[in-house]
Amino acid sequence: MESTRQLKVARLVQKEMAEIFQRECGGMFNRALISVTIVRISPDLSFAKVYLSIFGTEDKEATIEMVKDHHNELRRKLGSRVGKQLRIVPDIAFYLDDSVDYAQKINELLNK
């Protein structure tokens, strides 16, 4: 069970990362639309797992690898936004959230 502080920090990181992907990195990742779906924060608030949904591109794996390659730049942008609110800017790991694709596949199977 996550603490109230973990949930607040997770929401803050999710909101700020979504704005970073939407406003500052629009053309950086093959013009793909990247949505931050879930953020999980470690109990000591030093590590965040960020789950991303990627739309508008066929090769989602390549796009997530590009995001991982820009890890340091994205963390720096996050730090500039939340530096006054958090004592430690969490280290970030990005993961592909394929729950939307899975739900779509199940829906297609049910409609056959």
Domain with residue 14: its CATH number is 3.30.300.20
Distance CA 34, CA 75 (A): 16
pLDDT of the residue at 19: 93
Give the pLDDT means over successive 10-residue stretches in the chain (112 positions). Answer: 90 94 79 90 94 87 90 93 90 88 81 82
Residue 70 burial (10 A CB sphere; 0-12, 13-18, 19+): middle
In terms of residue numbers, what domain contains 67?
4-110
pLDDT of the residue at 47: 95
pLDDT of the residue at 48: 95
The number of distinct structural domains making up the chain is: 1
